[in-house]
Amino acid sequence: MKIPLSWLKEYVDFEDTVEGLADKLTFSGVEVEGIERLGGGVPGVVVAEVLAIEKHPNADKLTLCKVNFGGPAEMTVVCGAPNVAVGGKYPFAPLGTALPAGFTIEKRKVRGVFSEGMLCAEDELGISDDHAGLMALDAKWAPGTALSEVLGPPETVVEVEITPNRPDCLSLLGLAREVAALYGTKVKVPDASLQESHPAVEKATSVVVEDLKDCPRYTARVLQNVKVGPSPDWMKRRLEAAGIRAINNVVDITNYVMLECGQPLHAFDQKLLAEGRIVVRHPKPGEKILTLDGVERALEPQMLVIADAVKPMAVAGVMGGEHSGINETTTDVLLESANFRPASVRATSKKLGMLSDASYRFMRGVDAELAEFGSRRAAKLTCELAGAKLLLGVVDVRSEPKKPWKVVCRPARLEALLGIAAAPAEIAQVFAALDLKVLKSGPDAIEVEVPTFREDLTREADLIEEYARIYGLKKLPPVRSMATIVPDADDKPAQAQARLRDVLVGLGLQQIMHYSFLAEGLLDLFDQGNAPSRVKLANPLTADHTVMRDALLPQMAETIGLNFSRQVAETAFFETGRVFRLGPDGKPTETDHVAVGLFGPAGRTGLDKFKPVDELEMFLWIKGLWEQASAALNL
């Protein structure tokens, strides 16, 4: 997940470098995978307006664009972008501009016509990987305006990997909570206050949930007089820095709030909903839906859909439908903020081959209590940025709310596990910083109430781990293990394998290890006669892992070939491991094998490595290895 640093700082104050923040997050359990600096423009790149477009005389897919870039004269640019239009404004790289891709713009002929600069796509400017067309700029920018002024100040983006047990961190507010605890500051929750107007929302819509197990909560708000259009530049920049493409203000608001608080939302054009109402149900036999990605998908009975009075309009928790999406003619919006069972979304997403930002969060688990806040926040932004009128109230259909639970932490147990003595008040302070409500605090025990968004905290050890994360894992005293590992004196095969490994490593061979399962086709290359005795997997991970190996040689040969294809012409490998075959009774048997793979005798250098190996030389080398191995095993 990509976190724009300036956006994060709206919710939490801290004084540190981005590298210092990354270090603290990583050692608290939120792994930082990278730091990227975006924006600020490319020196020399300016805004240009396309004044006229002509067909290229020698190329069907190219055009000649006359552009005004604020210079003393207009320039002719050869362009192949499909979205270039007269009156459009785009980034323009004049002659002499050095682009991030590593080349400098020069006057050159393109199919017989000189091009005096370049109109740029986002990938050419290092802004994103998008090369679908030119980067369209707002019409308000005058030709000649520096792109750095358009894009605003540079943005630092921190990319983090969130572990599956922490879905609450899949948002900026979730990470802000972590940062606040690490730096001893407070989280600033964004305003979600609303100004509602009559009539009541129940006059405009209704919601029926037929399966409260798969959909524990569904909320709906209705906004009228919505003006769909482009989002403001600040929202576009934040979404793009977070890796999400801006579409229009209404859709962008749903994505913005999802990134902000972690609650996925969906906006329907209410006038396209039959009878204007919502039914959350399972598909009927033969039902299909055309999703927003333009693909018609067959639905299965165990899936969950969001339907109107007639047909499915969205795949619950995964993706919306094409026919009810927001477009430039939309005026009335039904705003969905719901909660779906992770297992249901996971099964549907896998079956349909669809993964979205929303399904990613639902599969990991979204707190049902977040639905109302997400709905309020999105409604507020829609009123502010799209001039909407919000109807009074919310339709909220839900199952029995999950209640917070209590967990006790004993300071004595914390000291026993972590090796440090912490005062009860200090422990309670850390818990409170993580939004755990401290009910009791004393020398013997600290009792906290765990909020519903922290389902990973169920026992005392979990609370102790939370304290260790915030206290600082680096500050915990290292303790040597006092345990002594004694090998089993009766395990003769294991001892023999250990001696054999020592001998082969001492002779200069490298040990390699493969999976115990592989593609059956690889085994067939070496021995098709053993096919009936192979152990086949009932549920293989991939098509390349369908059977258990009945020999070590095929994978050994494959690895040697892979090394040779990468210019490693001298290899000396060995592997010890088990092979699997069906016995006479049809049950799998396991036996220990060893394989040695040699290619290109030692001592050869340079191009000599690629010369044919002398058979006698190879035989003597293998004979020596065998004698050494036999001696080690007392054979």
pLDDT tens digit string along 447-473? Answer: 999 999 999 999 999 999 999 999 999
Taking residues 336-359, what's their average pLDDT? 93
Within 13 Å of residue 480, how many CA atoms lie on the same side as its CB?
A: 2
Domains 405-475 and 492-632 share a fold: no
The CA distance from 150 to 170, in Å, is: 30
The CA distance from 164 to 173, in Å, is: 17
- Asked if 406 and 450 touch (Cβ cutoff 8 Å), the reply is yes
* Percentages of the chain per state (helix, strand, coil), in multiples of 5: 30, 25, 45
Instruction: Please tell me the predicted confidence (pLDDT) of residue 607.
Output: 39
Q: Does the structure show a pLDDT above 80 at 604?
A: no
- How is 277-312 classified by DSSP, letter by letter? -EEEEPPPTT-EEEBTTS-EEE--TTS-EEE-SSSE
Instruction: Kindly state the tokens that stand for 61.
Output: 């897919």
Q: How many CB atoms lie within 10 A of CB 417?
A: 15
Task: Tell which CATH architecture fits domain 196-398.
Answer: 3-Layer(bba) Sandwich (3.50)
Instruction: Kindly state the tokens that stand for 389.
Output: 């009128």
Mean pLDDT, the chain, whole residue set: 90
Q: Does the structure show a pLDDT above 80 at 490?
A: no
* More confident site: 490 or 394: 394
The CA distance from 196 to 378, in Å, is: 13
The CA distance from 455 to 131, in Å, is: 41
Taking residues 45-50, what's their average pLDDT? 95
Q: Does the structure show a pLDDT above 60 at 136?
A: yes
Computed on alpha carbons and rounded to an integer, the radius of gyration of the chain in Å comes to 32
Which is it for strands 63-68 and 46-55: parallel, antiparallel or unpaired? antiparallel
The CA distance from 72 to 628, in Å, is: 83
Fold classification of 46-151 (topology level)? OB fold (Dihydrolipoamide Acetyltransferase, E2P) (2.40.50)
List the chain domain ranges: 2-39+154-183, 46-151, 196-398, 405-475, 492-632
pLDDT tens digit string along 208-236? Answer: 999 999 999 999 999 999 999 999 989 99
- Asked if 466 and 427 touch (Cβ cutoff 8 Å), the reply is no
Under the banding of pLDDT at 50, 70 and 90, the label for residue 265 is: very high
Strand order in the sheet with 46-55: 75-79, 63-68, 46-55, 89-93, 118-119
CATH superfamily of 492-632: Bira Bifunctional Protein; Domain 2 (3.30.930.10)
Q: Hey, which residues does 156 pair with through a beta bridge?
A: 37
Fold classification of 2-39+154-183 (topology level)? Phenylalanyl-tRNA Synthetase; Chain B, domain 1 (3.30.56)
- Asked if 324 and 333 touch (Cβ cutoff 8 Å), the reply is no
pLDDT tens digit string along 146-200? Answer: 998 888 888 899 999 999 999 999 999 999 999 999 999 999 999 999 999 999 9
Q: Which residue carries 């640093």 as its tokens?
A: 5
Instruction: Determine the Cα angle at 82 with ends 78 and 86, to 5°.
Output: 70
Strand ranges (E), 393-544 = 395-398, 405-409, 437-441, 446-450, 510-511, 517-518
What is this structure's pTM? 0.71
Instruction: Determine the Cα angle at 111 with ends 110 and 116, to 5°.
Output: 25
Q: Does the structure show a pLDDT above 70 at 602?
A: no
Nearest alpha-carbon partner for 130 in 239, 37, 19: 239
Instruction: Please tell me the predicted confidence (pLDDT) of residue 612.
Output: 53
The CA distance from 130 to 127, in Å, is: 8
Number of H-type helices and E-type strands within the chain = 16, 31
Rounded-to-10 torsion of CA 30, 35, 38, 42: 180
Instruction: Please tell me the predicted confidence (pLDDT) of residue 289.
Output: 92
599, amino acid identity:
F
3-state secondary structure of 93: strand
Instruction: Please tell me the predicted confidence (pLDDT) of residue 28.
Output: 92
Element at 50 (helix H, strand E)? strand 46-55
- Asked if 424 and 441 touch (Cβ cutoff 8 Å), the reply is yes
Nearest alpha-carbon partner for 18 in 44, 39, 37, 1: 37
pLDDT tens digit string along 270-291? Answer: 999 999 999 999 999 999 999 8
- How is 322-379 classified by DSSP, letter by letter? GGG---TT---EEEEEEE--HHHHHHHHHHHT---HHHHHHHH---TTHHHHHHHHHH
Instruction: Please tell me the predicted confidence (pLDDT) of residue 13.
Output: 94
The hierarchical CATH code for the domain 405-475 is: 3.30.56.10
CA 501 from chain centre, in angstroms, equals: 40
* DSSP symbol at 56: -
pLDDT tens digit string along 408-447? Answer: 999 999 999 999 999 999 999 999 999 999 999 999 999 9
Contacts of 357 (CB under 8 A, 6+ apart): 244, 255, 258, 264
